[in-house]
Amino acid sequence: MVANAILSASIERGFQFTFTDLTASQSIVSGDVIQIGESLLAIAVEKAKGATLRAAEIAAGSIASPDRCACLFVHEDVKITCLGTDVIAAGNRLFYDVANTRVTLVATGNIFCGYAVEASANDVTTVQMHFDGRLGGIAQASGGITVGSVATKIIATTQLEALLDTIENTLFAMKTGDIILNVALIVGTAAGSVCVVTIGTDVDLDGTTKDVDSLLKAGNANATGIQEAMDVAATHRGADLAAGPFVCDDDGNVTISSSTDQSSSSFVGSCVLTYIPGSN
C-alpha cells in the first residue's frame, strides 16, 4: 500500500531494495510511504506505476514509467504528516496510520515507526521525527503469529511479598505496543495461609477498563510450584491472554492483587513476565 506522507528527509543511514509488488492501478512517487507485509514500512526514492497506468502512458505516446521503484528502509530525520488533533511531545512514540497516510500517537491498528524529535501542537499537521520503518517488525501479533526479540521482567521475594497486601498494586510498567506473552507466579515457600493472587492490567494498558485478573487468575501463593497463564490446562489463563498474546494499548501497568494480606508472611517466590518490547 502506498501513501504520500514524507515532506522532507535527511538520510544518514539506510539500505535500499527494489519494490515490485505493484497493483495494476498503483502509482508511486518519491516520498511515498510503502507498507510491506504486515509490519514493515519503506520510503520510495523514485516513481513507479502499475501495468494499467503504464499501458495508458504508452497509448498516449508517453514514455512509460518504471514498473518498480527503489525504497529506503531507514531515515534518520523526517518531516512527516501527522494527525492534527494529536499533541505530540519530543520523544513520543509515533505510529503510521496507513489508511490516513500520516503518523499518530494512536497505537491500535497502526504500525510503530519511530519517535518525535520535536513537539507538534494541536492543529499542527506535520512533525519532525526519527523514522525507521523496520521497528513495527519487532513486535507484531497478527494471524496467530508473534515475532520479535523476547524480554523478561522479574520481581522477586522481598519486593513481591510487600505487594501481597490486599491492595491492587503496580507489578510492572509496560509501554505502548509491548506484547505480553506469558505471566508466571513461582512459589518457593508457601505464604502459610490462603492467598489467591491475580495479575491484570490497569485502564491505560487495557485501553478500555482495568481488569485485575486479565493476565493470570486464581494464583495460589500458599502452594509451591510454578503457576503460569500459558500452561496447557489454561487453569490460570486470564481473558486478555485467552486468544493469544496481549498487545499493550498504551503506556500503563500490569497490576497484582491478593485476597489476604501476606506482606509479612513466610512467602518466598517471584513473578516473571515474558514479553516482546514494542520498540528497540
> pLDDT by residue (tens digit) across 138-159?
544 444 445 556 788 999 878 8
Distance (Å, whole) CA 280 – CA 278: 7
Distance (Å, whole) CA 231 – CA 211: 20
DSSP H helical ranges for the chain: 51-59, 157-163, 203-206
What was the pLDDT predicted at 184?
Answer: 92
DSSP state of 120: B
Distance (Å, whole) CA 212 – CA 224: 22
Sequence-distant (≥ 6) Cβ neighbours of residue 229 within 8 angstroms: 182, 183, 184, 199, 215, 216, 236, 237, 238, 241
| pLDDT tens sequence across 56-110 | 988 998 888 888 877 776 666 788 889 989 999 988 888 888 889 899 998 888 8
User: pLDDT category, 17, cuts 50, 70, 90?
Assistant: low
Q: How far is CA 215 from CA 105, 127, 154, 179, 244, in A?
A: 25, 36, 15, 12, 11
List, by residue range, all CATH 2.60.120 domains of the chain. Answer: 147-276
Top CATH class of 147-276 equals mainly beta
Distance (Å, whole) CA 167 – CA 149: 33
| pLDDT tens sequence across 228-260 | 998 877 889 999 888 778 888 888 999 999 999
- Model confidence pTM above 0.75: no
